Amino acid sequence: MSNTHTTIGVDSPHTTMLMHTTRCNIIGCNADLLLIVMRAISDVSWIMPRWCATIIIRYANAEPSDDAYLRVFPDPVTSSARIEIFDSFFAPDLSRIDRAALVAHELIHIHISMIMRWSRRIVERRIDGPSKDDALDELEERHEMVVVGLEQAFRVALERIIETEQ
């Protein structure tokens, strides 16, 4: 396993308005996979949450039990997040825009994680019985709907940005 440490937020041509940097540790990628990961992260580095000081990206070298390409574990308490990358992220049929949009999706989850954490606590404290599970399920479903909607909007922006580069 190789460890690569790089700073995201300064080198990308799309981050000139970014006023912070996020330390990004990429673990477990060989050189070829590292290039793919770095390109996808660089394409969406302008979406990085300002509060997130460190993102650890770990290549899982496996397939998840569901159809995920990536999985995120935000931790607002420590101002950090962990993203796991699965083999499916490196599928040859995924385009540069597809991969960037997948990373954007996870970054959006990081953005929303603080309010989701707070919302879950409120539901868990104030709702009892079967209604609690229903409320938590509804909260998760609406959360994912917001994330997917924003991902689609970012995809349009990414298509325009990447198209102008070529």
Write the pLDDT tens digit of every residue in 128-162.
Answer: 998 999 999 999 999 999 999 999 999 999 999 88
Distance CA 147, CA 150 (A): 5
Give the pairing type, strands 3-8 and 22-27.
antiparallel
φ/ψ of residue 58, rounded to 5: -120, 125
State the burial class of residue 1 (Cβ atoms within 10 Å of its Cβ: 0-12, 13-18, 19+). Answer: exposed
Tokens of 115: 């309010």
pLDDT, one tens digit per residue, over 2-36 is 444 444 443 333 333 334 567 778 888 888 888 89
Distance CA 160, CA 158 (A): 5
Which of 31, 79, 32, 38 shows the shortest CA–CA distance to 57? Answer: 38
The model's pTM is 0.83
